[in-house]
Amino acid sequence: MIGRSPKIVIRGLEKSFGAKAVLQGLDLDVLEGESLVVIGASGSGKSVLIKNIVGILAPDAGSIRYDGMEIASLAGNARDRINRGIGMLFQNGALFDSLPLWENVAFPLLSTRTMARSGARARSIELLREVGLGPETADRYPADISVGAQKRVGLARAIATAPEMLFFDEPTTGIDPIMGAVIDRLIVKCVRDLGATALTITHDMDSARRIGDRIAMIHDGKVVWIGNVEDIARSGNAVVDAFVRGAPAARGTGV
Ligand SMILES: Nc1ncnc2c1ncn2[C@@H]1O[C@H](COP(=O)(O)OP(=O)(O)O)[C@@H](O)[C@H]1O
Ligand SMILES: [Mg+2]
């Protein structure tokens, strides 16, 4: 399942906001076909990491190679070309309140003009079904459905273009543990069905264990440990141990 070649190679990644150094020389490899979960305290820079990879933020220093190509400061058409192969589930779902669910799901299909509206609607209904939502939900609006259902819609949108690379930012935050487990299983299924590479960030250890082949821990702006899911209980790393056991010091005081 895990390919031998790296999909993403990050070296010496740095990102600060004013005086606040968030990423401080972060190194990370994401292997082709794997599901890698990045854990870390709230405010440790997990979302900033993903935003640097997908080009929402530009790094201050360091290298990000994607399929061997340097993308750290890529912009314009070249960036769009890379991002067309990427699907993303944002931390808060990030659905468009004014659009019905089917148009939310179809957004990446319509915005790249890869599909006509009627075809996109039919495809959206299929995608909604894949995440467990019936066709009657297609014309409803985000405000009319539960947060768990919103996550499903966000997932359907993330996979709409059958991307080779998926990013999930806190997919289970804000939903109850039972729904969280359902979403985790859906994520695992969608990633497997697509044969995609996935990078998920979470501060939820149960979720990390369900989703990941490997886990990497961010602390003080660096990856301080990376290994197979089954090895995390004996990481030999005090920060990881504290996080896994839920010690407040490792979890931080953020939201
Ligand atoms: N656009 C921004 N401007 C200023 N500070 C930011 C910005 N984005 C993130 N930060 C700060 O960077 C730190 C890491 O944020 P983030 O990556 O969102 O943490 P998390 O690990 O919880 O996802 C936080 O202290 C946050 O306040
Ligand atoms: Mg975050």
Residues 29-79: pLDDT tens digits? 999 999 999 999 999 999 999 999 999 999 999 999 999 999 998 989 999
* Cα(1) to centroid(ligand 1), Å: 33
Whole-model pTM: value is: 0.91
87 in contact with ligand 1, CB cutoff 6 A: no
Q: Whose CA is nearest to atom 24 of ligand 1?
A: 43
140's tokens: 């409803």
Rounded to the nearest 10°, the torsion over CA 56, 204, 185, 231 is 110
Does residue 12 lie in a domain region?
Answer: yes
Does residue 102 lie in a domain region?
Answer: no
Predicted confidence (pLDDT) at residue 254 exceeds the cutoff of 70:
no
Does residue 106 lie in a domain region?
Answer: no
Query: How many folded domains does the chain comprise?
Result: 1
Domain that holds residue 224: 6-85+163-247
* Cα(170) to centroid(ligand 2), Å: 7
CATH of the domain at 190: 3.40.50.300
CB-CB contact of 13 with 38 (8 Å):
no
pLDDT recorded at residue 247 = 53
pLDDT recorded at residue 253 = 45
173 in contact with ligand 1, CB cutoff 6 A: no
Give the whole-angstrom CA distance, residue 91 versus residue 16.
21
Does residue 155 lie in a domain region?
Answer: no
Q: Whose CA is nearest to atom 1 of ligand 1?
A: 17
Residues 211-222: pLDDT tens digits? 999 999 999 999
30 or 173, which is more confident? 30
Does residue 99 lie in a domain region?
Answer: no
Q: Which mutation among 44, 48, 88, 169 tests ligand 1's pocket best, with the greatest number of atoms within 8 A of CB?
A: 48
